[in-house]
Amino acid sequence: MIVEIVNTGSELMLGRVLNTHQQWLCRRLADLGHVVTRQVAVADTGPEIQAAVRESLSRADLVITTGGLGPTSDDLTRELIAALLGKKLVENQEVLAHIESYFARRNRPRPAGTSVETFVPEGALVFINQNGTAPGLAMKVASGETPKAAPSSPDARTQIPSPKWLVMLPGPPRELRPMFDHSVVPLLQREFAGAIFVCRTLRSVGVGESRVEEAVAGRLQPLVQRGLEIGYCARPWSVDVRLTAAGPDASQLVREGEAIVQRILGDHIFGYDDEEIENVIVRLLTERRQTLALAESCTGGNLAHRLTNVPGASAVLLGGVVSYANSAKEKLLGVRAETLSQHGAVSEAVAREMVLCAREKFGSDHAIAVTGIAGPGGGTPEKPVGTVFIAQASAAGVSVQKMLNPWDRATFKEVTTTQALEGLRARLISA
Amino acid sequence: MIVEIVNTGSELMLGRVLNTHQQWLCRRLADLGHVVTRQVAVADTGPEIQAAVRESLSRADLVITTGGLGPTSDDLTRELIAALLGKKLVENQEVLAHIESYFARRNRPRPAGTSVETFVPEGALVFINQNGTAPGLAMKVASGETPKAAPSSPDARTQIPSPKWLVMLPGPPRELRPMFDHSVVPLLQREFAGAIFVCRTLRSVGVGESRVEEAVAGRLQPLVQRGLEIGYCARPWSVDVRLTAAGPDASQLVREGEAIVQRILGDHIFGYDDEEIENVIVRLLTERRQTLALAESCTGGNLAHRLTNVPGASAVLLGGVVSYANSAKEKLLGVRAETLSQHGAVSEAVAREMVLCAREKFGSDHAIAVTGIAGPGGGTPEKPVGTVFIAQASAAGVSVQKMLNPWDRATFKEVTTTQALEGLRARLISA
């Protein structure tokens, strides 16, 4: 089964927004056993949308479009696809009733622009939008049905060889995601048998991409000959090893491969699949019934933010201080003025005091403190931009690690946060 | 001039990573006057990469590929494109010397896998990778040159009609971005004259998408007839209005359009182009030489994180407390135990005490406090998941706003953070 995604939106082509639909839909579809073959993004213009959809329909069994179903004048997907497939747009009473009640419940008059949303291509399945007004749509494109193309188009006579489905979803993620789960998944389960497909990602820290492959590729070779596929993905401070397989032996192949990689990389593997290091920290602390406090300078709240993204973080994270100004390091944490003036805010001595103060103030089992220079300004020859001290404290004592992360501000914050969490993970698993 | 991007990587098609290259490259290219017409993502497999590149070369004047240039066995782009264009791979001494010195400087032996990176298609321009090992590559594809396709392919005889450029960039963003700026931009400036293209985005809060269009579309109509294009992009709690134009009148049209939208939406417009509301807050506080402190419960550090993403935030943000546990609200901030027990942590009374304590503890001009229920657990019939109290304090007094943001945890944190920052913006511009 061939699946393609067509994302529409001029804002995508102008680089004004990030296309999060691709990842989300590809991931959901892979979990259902349908790996997306191609994803295409085009602007909100008639010829581009029609050409992309026509080409995808000529290749794929399932085409999913995103965007262009809303009420504004640049929302053209519904009309263009109806025209492409030679379908009339007809008013749908269920959609009209939903939109009327959507605004009635909010005590707001219905904007005139939403009228276009009540017209759907003849014969289309309608997915009512639980989080907005524009409905999703699904159309079965019969075998041999010929999409209409502009006469000048070279592929005007493309034949669609077999019955296939075209699904149109609204652009806002808050509308698209629940609609996919509630309406599209049942359609796929009814219309397409998913192949057996298994994917497992092992996430490692502390080893470079080439070294990871050198270490594992040879040992995995016998499994590759039996159909296992291996992928490597390098990120700042971590490398993912992805094992995939299809068919009846898929689970067995992936399980054997995982055991081999696990044996070779050992504690370098911090987690699996979507697990971020913050999820691992919350899990490890929860298992140990231990608590954590934070004192952040240059990471500016990102440590707390990433940890509190994990549901259940409140059971282990007591809190943190973002002590950006020196006065905050003194007043909120209790770092001594002499330490700050003697060593400077970015120093091993201040990191050490910050972490001890945080642990004491919050009364936690563990504490992490970070002080450094995120840039772009603030560097000196002795302490260039990217210099950072990461301190860990627990009943077992204090340790401070000096790192140099001379990257842009956003990467600096992300990498330093990952390093600080990895330092705590190393402590927790070795204790 | 037609520009297409081909992103390669099985991790993209499996939904394991977010494709940030599309936005970044589209944005940079638009700024240079080249709006990308189509973006395609395909897996790391021979037929898919070759088909996508062949199709893009048949349509576009410039094709940029990302990924697949690294040292591991799934990095196939270089070999596949060389084969497609009938070029031999030859060892490049400059690349070899760069990779040797890259590992020598790090006191590490060169991994054997990096040898493949020293082989480049005959005649290709080589971009040395300042942040990694794999070089970027650029090839001029001469008019009439026919890409080789598998004999079974229906478009094996596609002719490339005129001279065009194929640029291959490495996948890691830290390598791709500097390489694009340092090596690809000069190539584009030499080979392609950029058209005049102007884009301006006005970012509004507090008005729905349909209402924004109802308010502005009619008034912009005369400019649309002269060539202005309008786009709308709805996000949680904000709507972007994008004005674009091409050609000699572009600046004038966009300037006139901006004045009209500005007049209609007024203070609903918080910023322009890439400006986030946190950038606006840092700018407004810097202009007023005022300082800010934060007390965050349910946003868990995201307010501090977003503000500290802004270079220069240290001049205005004194710091914050992430008071996740009740004990932290008492010990770090000084919220009274009676208030917590009488009203509960998620209450107007606690939000009020948090914001006053934060302002006093940090000695700041302004303070923001947030307490609420991010979910998924923790809701009650009286205070369902999504309930949040946002408090603002300054010399002018305290105000508390109750909101209901019943979304997933990540959206809850983002929207609540935006609302809290918008509350401060409203205070600052009305003062």
Whether A298 contacts B298, CB under 8 Å: no
Q: What is the pLDDT of residue A199?
A: 87
- Scanning B224-283 for CB atoms below 8 A from A yields 229-236, 240, 242, 244
How many Å apart are CA B296 and CA B358, to the nearest integer?
10
- The reply to whether B163 touches chain A by the CB within 8 Å rule is no
Q: Which of A6, A23, A45 to mutate to probe the B interface, most B CBs <10 Å?
A: A23
pLDDT higher than threshold 50 for residue B21: yes
Query: Per the CB < 8 Å rule, is A307 touching B300?
Result: yes
Tens digits of residue pLDDT in B242-262: 999 988 899 999 999 999 999
Q: Are B370 and B416 spatial neighbours (Cβ–Cβ below 8 Å)?
A: yes
pLDDT band at B295; cut points 50, 70, 90: very high
- Percentage of chain A surpassing pLDDT 90? 68
In angstroms, the CA B265 to CA B263 distance is 6
- Convert the pLDDT of each residue in A344-400 to its tens digit: 999 999 999 999 999 999 999 999 999 999 988 888 999 999 999 999 999 999 999
More confident site: A407 or B271: B271
Contacts of A332 in chain B (CB under 8 A): 319, 321, 332, 361-362
Q: Which residues contact A104 (CB under 8 A, 6 or more apart)?
A: none
Pairwise CA distance, residues A425 & A21, whole Å: 32
Q: Taking CB atoms and an 8 Å cutoff, what residues of chain B touch A30?
A: 13-15
Facing residue for A328 by CB, picked from B42, B210, B362: B362
Rounded to an integer, the average pLDDT of B140-159 is 54
Beta carbons of A397 and A408 less than 8 angstroms apart: no
CA distance B270 to B110: 51
User: In whole numbers, what is the pLDDT of chain A averaged over residues?
Assistant: 90
CA-based nearest residue to B267, from B255, B253, B284: B284
Classify residue B86 as left (phi > 0), alpha (psi -120 to 50) or beta.
left
Give yes or no for B156 touching A (CB within 8 A): no
The tokens of A74 are what?
């640049």
Is residue A152 scored above 80 in pLDDT? no
Q: A402: which residues sit within 8 A by CB, 6+ positions away? A: A348, A387, A388, A389, A390
**Helix, coil or strand: residue A367:** strand
Residue B393 C-alpha, separation from nearest chain A C-alpha, in angstroms:
18
Give the mean model confidence (pLDDT) for residues A397-422: 92
Q: What tokens appear for B38 in the block?
A: 């189509």
Among candidates A44, A217, A324 on the partner chain, residue whose Cβ is nearest the Cβ of B317: A324
CB contact under 8 A, A15 and B27: yes
CB contact under 8 A, A301 and B322: yes
Q: H helices then E strands: how many in chain B? A: 15, 17
Chain A CB within 8 Å of residue B379 CB? no
**Per-residue exposure over A161-198, b if at least 16 CB sit within 10 Å of its own CB, e if not:** eeebbbbbbbbbbbbbbebbeebbeebbeeebeeeebb
Cα distances from A26 to residues A34, A43, B39, in angstroms, run 8, 20, 16
Nearest-CA distance from A176 to chain B in Å?
A: 13
Q: With a CB-CB cutoff of 8 Å, which residues 290-309 of chain B face chain A?
A: 294, 296, 299-305, 307-309
List, in sequence order, every beta strand (DSSP E) within A268-311: 269-272, 292-296
Mean pLDDT, residues A77-98: 94
Burial category of A259 from C-beta neighbours within 10 Å (exposed 0-12, middle 13-18, buried 19 and up): exposed
> Residue B160 pLDDT more than 50?
no
What DSSP string runs through B35-67? -EEEEEEE-S-HHHHHHHHHHHHHH-SEEEEES
Of A284-288, B29-33, B358-362, give the lowest mean pLDDT range.
B29-33
Q: Does residue A111 belong to the interface with chain B, where contact is any CB pair within 8 Å?
A: yes
Asked whether the beta carbons of residue B214 and residue A112 sit closer than 8 angstroms, the reply is yes
- H or E segment and range at residue B243: strand B238-246
Q: Find tokens 């010399």 and name the residue.
A: B395
For A:4-23, CB contacts with B below 8 A are 9-20, 22-23
Instruction: Say if residue B100's pLDDT is above 80.
Output: yes
3-state percent helix, strand, coil for chain B, nearest multiple of 5 = 45, 25, 35
Binned at pLDDT 50, 70 and 90, residue B147 comes out as low
A377 and B311 within 8 Å at the Cβ level: the answer is yes
Write out pLDDT tens, residues A165-209. 999 999 998 899 999 999 999 999 888 876 678 889 999 987 777
Q: E strands along A9-100, which residues?
A: 36-42, 62-66, 89-91
Closest to B374 measured CA to CA, from A340, A309, A331, A263 = A309
Residue type, A225: Q
Nearest to B319 among A314, A319, A323 (CB): A323
Q: What is residue B375's predicted lDDT score, i.e. its pLDDT?
A: 84
Overall pTM surpassing 0.80 (yes/no): no
Q: For residue B162, what pLDDT is reported?
A: 59
In terms of Cα–Cα distance, which of B315, B298, B317 is closest to B306? B317
- Cα B299 to chain centroid distance, Å, stands at 21
What tens digit of pLDDT does each residue of B311-328 get?
999 999 999 999 988 899
Gyration radius from chain A CA atoms:
27
State residue B260's pLDDT score.
97
Q: Which residues of A touch B307 (CB under 8 A)?
A: 300-301
Percentage with pLDDT > 70 across chain B: 95
| pLDDT range class, residue B145, cuts 50, 70, 90 | low
Angle (CA) B257 B259 B263, round 5°: 120
Mean pLDDT in residue range A147-163: 49
Contact in structure between B315 and B297 (CB atoms under 8 Å): no
A56 confidence band (pLDDT: 50, 70, 90): very high
pLDDT of residue A149: 47
In this prediction, residue A235 has a pLDDT band, given cuts at 50, 70 and 90, of: confident
Helical (H) or strand (E) element with A10: helix A10-13
Close Cβ partners of A193 (under 8 Å, ≥ 6 residues apart)? none
Instruction: Please answer whether residues A325 and A335 qualify as being in contact, where contact means their C-beta atoms are separated by less than 8 angstroms.
Output: no
- Contact indicator for A169, A136 with CB cutoff of 8 Å: yes
Give A251-258 contacts, CB < 8 A, sequence gap 24+.
A251/A196, A251/A198, A253/A198, A253/A223, A253/A226, A253/A227, A253/A228, A254/A198, A254/A199, A254/A200, A254/A228, A256/A223, A256/A228, A257/A200, A257/A220, A257/A223, A257/A228, A257/A230, A258/A200, A258/A202
The amino acid present at B405, given as its one-letter code, is: N
Q: How far is B430 from chain A (nearest CA, A)?
A: 27
Query: What pLDDT shows up at residue A150?
Result: 45
For chain B, the average pLDDT equals: 90
Encoded tokens for B262:
């500005």
Does A311 lie at the interface with B, CB-CB under 8 angstroms? yes
Looking at B159-275, list the stretches that DSSP marks H as alpha helix, in order from N- to C-terminal side. 173-179, 185-191, 209-225, 250-265
Give the residue with greater pLDDT, A152 vs B333: B333
Flag if A308 and B324 touch (Cβ within 8 Å): yes
Q: What does each C-alpha distance from B255 to A47, B200, B229, B262, B406 come to in angstroms?
A: 28, 9, 13, 10, 39
Q: Which residue of A has its CA nearest to B202?
A: A16
Nearest partner of B108 among B133, B134, B72, B81, judged by Cα:
B133
The nearest CA of chain B is from the CA of A375 a distance in Å of 7
What residue of A is the nearest CA neighbor of B203? Answer: A16
With a cut of 90, say whether residue A287 has pLDDT above it: yes
| A37 contacts B39? CB cut-off 8 A | no
pLDDT tier at A160, thresholds 50, 70, 90: very low
Residue B418 Cα distances to A313, A372, B206, angstroms: 22, 27, 11
pLDDT at B161 over 60: no
Q: Of B100, B107, B109, B106, whose CA–CA distance to B133 is shortest? A: B100
Summarised one tens digit per residue, pLDDT across range B42-96 is: 998 889 999 999 999 999 999 999 999 988 878 889 999 999 999 999 999 999 9
Residue B158: Cβ-neighbour burial (10 angstroms; 0-12, 13-18, 19+): middle
Q: Give ∠ CA B250-B251-B257 in degrees, rounded to 5.
A: 90
**Nearest CA to CA, how far is B235 from chain A (Å)?**
7
